[in-house]
Amino acid sequence: MKRILFFLVLFIFIGFSQDAQAQCAMCKAVAESGIEGGGSVGTGLNQGILYLMAVPYILLGSLGFAWYKYSRKNKALPSE
């Protein structure tokens, strides 16, 4: 049952999704005008997107590592 539900949800997300744009309309207009003018706005915009994307992964990774170390330390202690 779980497998059928998983594939149903997967089909809904993939089958009915629209093409997503990487940027909002204003950001896209600024990036396109910067590229046409020979500027480097697009590079800065892409670096900003990568920075914003990396922060949650770093925070969750740090939290997961701390949880792993804490659980390993508690298993090493003898139980009474």
Interval 30-62: pLDDT, tens: 777 776 767 676 777 777 878 888 899 999 999
**Is residue 26 included in any domain, yes or no?**
yes
CB 34, CB 42: distance < 8 Å: yes
Look up the domain containing 36 and give its range: 22-80
Q: Report d(CA 34, CA 50) in Å as an integer.
A: 19
**Is residue 53 included in any domain, yes or no?**
yes
**Which pLDDT score, from 0 to 100, does residue 20 have?**
52
**Is residue 71 included in any domain, yes or no?**
yes
In this structure, what token pair is assigned to residue 24?
Answer: 């909002």
Q: How confident is the model at residue 78 (pLDDT cuts 50, 70, 90)?
A: low
Can you tell me the mean pLDDT for 7-12?
83
Q: Report d(CA 72, CA 68) in Å as an integer.
A: 6
**Is residue 17 included in any domain, yes or no?**
no
CB 22, CB 49: distance < 8 Å: yes
DSSP assigned state of 19: P
**Is residue 51 included in any domain, yes or no?**
yes
Number of domains in the chain: 1
**Is residue 11 included in any domain, yes or no?**
no
**Which pLDDT score, from 0 to 100, does residue 76 have?**
73
pLDDT at 63 over 80: yes
**Is residue 68 included in any domain, yes or no?**
yes
**Is residue 58 included in any domain, yes or no?**
yes
Selected residue with higher pLDDT from 29 and 9: 9
